Structure 1
Amino acid sequence: MIPTKKVGIFALTLLLCSCGAFFNQPLTRTAARVGEVSRSTSLLKSLPPSSDPVEVAVYNFSDQTGQYKAIENGSTFSTAVTQGATTILIKALEDSGYFTPIERENLSNLSTERNIIRNTKQEYIKNLNPNEPPLPPLLYAGLLLEGGIVSYDTNIITGGIGARYFGVGGSSKYRQDRITVYLRAVSTSNGEILKTVYVSKTILSQALDANYFRFVKFQRLLEAETGITQNEPVQLAVKDAVEKAVYDLVVEGIQAGYWSSKQGLTADQQLVNTYFKEKEEVESIELYNRIMNKPEGDILSISGGTSLMAGDYSNKNPGYMGRLEYQKSLTKFLSIGPSVSFLELNNGKQFYNQFIEANLNMRFNLLPEDDLSPYLYGGGGMLLEAGESSTQNLNTSGIFYKAQYGAGLQWTLSKNFGLNLFAEHNLVFSDELDNRVNGKRDDFYFNFGLGLNFYLSKNKKNPKAAQSDEN
């Protein structure tokens, strides 16, 4: 039984390591502070200066999700995302330096105030100063920026982990939500939509707790618990997504020639190339951060590893194994192909021999488009003796027929190369493989290997990336 003192020390250590934020709890009131920056704020402000900022008008960049804030037993009448996205967008446009925002959200207020100023000036001109200059005209916009927050998806990923031992335990839970923002630039001269960008941002919520529940002595129960929950502010997530959308719009506008920076063509092209490289990488990743760049086509694999005999002898020594394999792609999930292996089966002094193995396998790829793809396979084959057995050979032909099945994992490193890890069970249709017949069970052996894949067909190049290269 674990002493109470040691359990208490363990619980305290868990508290210090896992709940460090516990000691930073906001127990007192704090003063107002400057608003927090998002991860995209520095990205937006790192843009090179614009050669000629463009006047833009934003009438409304609204919440188009129709989502209400979710609670445990339903929903409330509070909206899930901020209704001030227009203000956030205007601030992002100002921070970029490529746009001059013009007030349009409350145009009626501006028009009323200008009418007051105009009437006052007219009275002043008539009575006091005939040379008073008139009110200057309003600026007009060359571009309209439209769009909005188009979706708010809750609980796209939920999960957690926990453990308890002798009354001491802890757990962690998390949840991910997701917002999606669309932003488009419209020409005021002819109404043409020049560019549309699309940005998504996940919102993370985490909960961590630790507890201690133990009888320290007879009829004396000690119970303690602590925990902390952290929720990423939705407003900051909206700010991050809107600022990233403005950054993307600036770069794609530079690439299309709508505006440029003061640093010249070389700096603009470098910025565009970096952006499209990032975009190509992002487009190869699915919603749950699964990398989707697995090449489609045939695979040539060279691998090496070890074989382990499991026959009628208790002594089992690992032997070497080398394999050359070709897989012909039939569909995205299925492929078929032969393999040839040279291997050693070793039971020490009791049995030793070398074999050539020829197999034909059908492979099923579980996640065919993932960068890290598990697969299952099975098929049939034969073993041919390639060496001289250490014991008297019971099978005079030296040929053994078998079936095999296994599982593996492919890791795509590039469009041409990848790694391959596999484990295989080989069932021989004979009990004479180790030159001994004992019992009713036939002999079998295992193969374990690690190899290099060569992809014989390449992915088609991303047309957007190709376009950026040409430019």
Structure 2
Amino acid sequence: MKTFCLVGLMLCHFKSLAQESNRADADYFYKKTFFYDQRGVNVIELAVGTSNINGDLPSPIFEIASRIGYKHFMFPHLNIGFTYNKFNIAFEDVYNEGFMSFDLNLEYVASPYQSFSPFLFAGGGYNASNYFVQTATKFQGGGGVEIIVATGFGLKIMADYNYVMSDELDGVVFGASDDAYWRVLFGANFYFGGQNKKERILKGVPTIINSNPIIKEN
């Protein structure tokens, strides 16, 4: 009798271990597919905000800034993106000029398998005043946070610092350093694509998980 009880206890223990293993496997694949369910490999980016210059004139003021861009994820943690930015540079009562920039960035997403994630980016670009009267190359870097509020749709707030390889951005050449400016933007990401990669991941799901799915609790 004791032997049967012992065997029963061992069977229950192994069954419990198997269930825990299945749950761990299900959690693993849920994590991997979350990126493709809630985000995606392609992103259309829209944002509006403000810009402010660190230049040679006194009393810089905040002006309007906007952005539209496209990003492609090479991996869930890393994407490459191109943006077109329209913004103004202004000093109180003396200067207000429209500019645009064309930026190429690498972006690192810290938590791609979660709804909330910080991100960092850096790259280079091309800065130009309206009608390309004044042009210069530049380098930029920044970061922000994003939250997924619906499938394929995220809201974010971000800031970037732009160092221009020219001292003429504000119309005045003065001092030893080139001009630079900040942008602070609030925007949205629209995700799409990636179902093929999701299907390849799901091919690795053990049969027992497919036949006995574990429902993820909210």
Q: Smaller-chain TM-score range?
A: 0.7 to 0.9
3-state SS, counterpart of residue 330 of structure 1 = strand
2:41 matched residue in structure 1: 297
Compare 346-355 and 327-336 and name the one that shifted more. Answer: 327-336
2:50 matched residue in structure 1: 306
Which string of whole-angstrom CA distances, capped at 9 and with x for unpartnered residues, describes residues 398-439 of structure 1?
Answer: 212211111122222233111122110000111111011121
Cα distance 1:298–1:60, how it changes in 2: closer, same or farther (>3 A)? farther
* Kept after mapping to 1: 8 A contact 2:84/2:103: yes
**2:192 aligned with 1:451:** no
**Higher relative contact order (CA closer than 8 Å, sequence separation 6+):** 2
**2:176 aligned with 1:432:** no
Q: Cα distance, 1:309 vs. partner?
A: 1.2
1:345 matched residue in structure 2: 89
**2:124 aligned with 1:380:** yes
1:147 matched residue in structure 2: 13
Cα distance 1:61–1:338, how it changes in 2: closer, same or farther (>3 A)? farther
Q: Cα distance, 1:449 vs. partner?
A: 0.8
Q: Cα distance, 1:333 vs. partner?
A: 2.5
Cα distance 1:406–1:197, how it changes in 2: closer, same or farther (>3 A)? closer
Measured in 1, the distance between the counterparts of 2:50 and 2:143 equals 15
Q: Cα distance, 1:325 vs. partner?
A: 1.1
Q: Cα distance, 1:306 vs. partner?
A: 0.8
Cα distance 1:454–1:306, how it changes in 2: closer, same or farther (>3 A)? same
Which string of whole-angstrom CA distances, capped at 9 and with x for unpartnered residues, describes residues 50-78 of structure 1?
Answer: xxxxxxxx9459999xxxxxxxxxxxxxx
Residues 352-431 of structure 1: pairs in structure 2 closer than 5 A: 352-386=96-130, 397-431=133-167
Q: TM-score normalised to the size of structure 2? A: 0.75
AA aligned to 1:411 is I
* Kept after mapping to 1: 8 A contact 2:38/2:152: no
Cα distance 1:464–1:442, how it changes in 2: closer, same or farther (>3 A)? farther
AA aligned to 2:142 is G
Measured in 1, the distance between the counterparts of 2:7 and 2:164 equals 69
Measured in 1, the distance between the counterparts of 2:7 and 2:68 equals 59
Cα distance 1:440–1:335, how it changes in 2: closer, same or farther (>3 A)? same
Measured in 2, the distance between the counterparts of 1:375 and 1:404 equals 14
AA aligned to 1:428 is V
Q: Cα distance, 1:397 vs. partner?
A: 3.6
Measured in 2, the distance between the counterparts of 1:465 and 1:452 equals 37
Which string of whole-angstrom CA distances, capped at 9 and with x for unpartnered residues, describes residues 290-315 of structure 1?
Answer: x8765341111111111111111220
3-state SS, counterpart of residue 176 of structure 2 = coil
* Kept after mapping to 2: 8 A contact 1:415/1:458: no
Measured in 1, the distance between the counterparts of 2:69 and 2:183 equals 14
* Kept after mapping to 2: 8 A contact 1:297/1:455: yes
Measured in 1, the distance between the counterparts of 2:149 and 2:27 equals 14
**2:72 aligned with 1:328:** yes
Measured in 1, the distance between the counterparts of 2:42 and 2:171 equals 39
Cα distance 1:336–1:198, how it changes in 2: closer, same or farther (>3 A)? closer
Cα distance 1:372–1:60, how it changes in 2: closer, same or farther (>3 A)? farther
Please give the root-mean-square deviation of Cα atoms over the aligned residues, in Å.
Answer: 3.6
* Kept after mapping to 1: 8 A contact 2:31/2:113: no
Give unmatched runs, 5+ long, in structure 2: 203-209
* Kept after mapping to 1: 8 A contact 2:138/2:162: yes
Task: Tell me the number of residue pairs that the alignment of Structure 1 and Structure 2 aligns.
Answer: 197
Measured in 2, the distance between the counterparts of 1:452 and 1:465 equals 37
Measured in 2, the distance between the counterparts of 1:407 and 1:443 equals 21
Measured in 2, the distance between the counterparts of 1:386 and 1:304 equals 19
Measured in 2, the distance between the counterparts of 1:368 and 1:417 equals 13
Measured in 1, the distance between the counterparts of 2:174 and 2:8 equals 79
Measured in 1, the distance between the counterparts of 2:178 and 2:112 equals 35
Measured in 2, the distance between the counterparts of 1:400 and 1:465 equals 60
3-state SS, counterpart of residue 343 of structure 1 = strand
AA aligned to 1:379 is G
* Kept after mapping to 2: 8 A contact 1:365/1:375: yes
Q: TM-score normalised to the size of structure 1? A: 0.37
3-state SS, counterpart of residue 436 of structure 1 = coil
Residues 81-100 of structure 1: pairs in structure 2 closer than 5 A: none
Give unmatched runs, 5+ long, in structure 1: 1-57, 65-144, 151-181, 185-195, 201-279, 388-395
Runs of 4+ in 1 over 3 A off after TM superposition: 58-64, 196-200, 280-286, 291-294, 458-466
Q: Cα distance, 1:371 vs. partner?
A: 2.1
Q: Cα distance, 1:368 vs. partner?
A: 2.8
Q: Cα distance, 1:284 vs. partner?
A: 4.2
Cα distance 1:338–1:315, how it changes in 2: closer, same or farther (>3 A)? same
3-state SS, counterpart of residue 146 of structure 1 = helix
AA aligned to 1:340 is Y
